[in-house]
Amino acid sequence: MQRRRTMSILLGPPGSGKGTQAKRLSAALGIPAISTGEILRHECQSGSTVGRQVERVLASGQLVGDELMNEVVAKRLSQSDCEYGWILDGFPRTLAQAQFLDRLLKGQDAGFPAIFDFFLSEKELVTRLGGRHECVQCGRIFAGLAPQCDIDGSPLVQRADDQPKAIRERLRIYRQNSGKLVRFYRRRNYHRIWAARAPETISQDLFRLAGVERNEAGGKYEPLVLASPSACA
Ligand code: ADP
pLDDT for position 147: 76
Query: Residues near ligand 1 with C-beta < 6 Å?
Result: 14-15, 35-37, 40, 57-58, 61-64, 69, 90-91, 93, 97, 161, 170
For residue 160, the CA-to-ligand 1 centroid distance in Å is: 12
Instruction: List strands edge to edge, sheet with 156-157.
Output: 141-142, 133-135, 156-157
For residue 148, the CA-to-ligand 1 centroid distance in Å is: 25
d(CA 63, CA 40): 11
Question: What pTM did the predictor assign?
Answer: 0.82
pLDDT for position 47: 86
pLDDT tens digits, the chain, 233 residues: what are they? 566 789 999 999 988 999 999 999 999 999 999 999 999 999 998 888 888 889 989 888 889 999 999 999 999 999 999 999 999 999 999 999 999 999 999 988 778 999 999 999 888 887 887 777 888 888 788 876 677 888 898 888 877 777 777 888 888 999 999 999 999 999 999 999 999 999 999 999 999 999 887 554 444 554 444 333 333 22
DSSP string, 200-212: HHHHHHHHHHHTP
User: Which one, of 34, 82, 87, lies nearest residue 210 by Cα?
Assistant: 87
Which residues are annotated as catalytic? 18, 93, 132, 159, 170
pLDDT for position 144: 67
d(CA 45, CA 52): 9
pLDDT for position 158: 78
**DSSP code of residue 216:** T
Hey, whose CA ends up nearest to atom 10 of ligand 1? 37
Q: What is the enclosing helix (H) or strand (E) of 55?
A: helix 49-60
For residue 6, the CA-to-ligand 1 centroid distance in Å is: 23
pLDDT for position 32: 96
Hey, whose CA ends up nearest to atom 4 of ligand 1? 14
